[in-house]
Amino acid sequence: MQTLNDLLEAAAKKLGTDEKPISESRLGDELGAYKQKLYDWKNGRGQPDTYAVWRLAEILKMNPLEVSAIIEAERAKSDERRSFWEDQVKRFRSSIQAVLLGLGLLMAYGTLPHSEAKAALITNGYQTVTPNKQMFIMSSRVPG
């Protein structure tokens, strides 16, 4: 399971160059927090506010809810709550994988033209961009 430290390290690398991640001070600026706040977060004394979570998600091209669930799982005081948040992360990841698989299958075998399926796969941070055409994804679930 990823941790907040893993996410912060990944963000520093993503914003830096291939050879060198950005400094903690600059990462703090990017997340709207002082360097001391980053130090506190890394050492389990507090956690990022909503703005910092969303900025971190934007930098890492993740859904902010997934980032939030990762942080909550790490900070959970009971096994029950930790398990709950870890399950949320797993559910989120499996639903994203299912959507990507479905779009890939549509592109390979379905009736959705390649260019439109490709456009549907383009992501902008946590927001998926889709073409202005109808796209049907079938489900075996029967409404009830």
Q: Per-residue pLDDT for the chain (144 aa), expressed as one digit of tens each? A: 889 999 999 999 999 987 888 999 999 999 999 989 999 999 988 889 999 999 999 999 988 989 999 999 988 889 999 999 898 888 887 776 666 667 666 666 665 555 554 555 554 444 444 444 555 555 555 555
- How many domains are contained in the chain? 1
- Answer yes or no: pTM beyond 0.85: no
**What span, in angstroms and rounded, lies between the C-alpha atoms of 110 and 102?**
10
Domain that holds residue 105: 4-128
* Residue 11 falls inside a structural domain: yes
* Residue 142 falls inside a structural domain: no
* Residue 140 falls inside a structural domain: no
* Residue 134 falls inside a structural domain: no
* Residue 109 falls inside a structural domain: yes
* Residue 102 falls inside a structural domain: yes
* Residue 43 falls inside a structural domain: yes
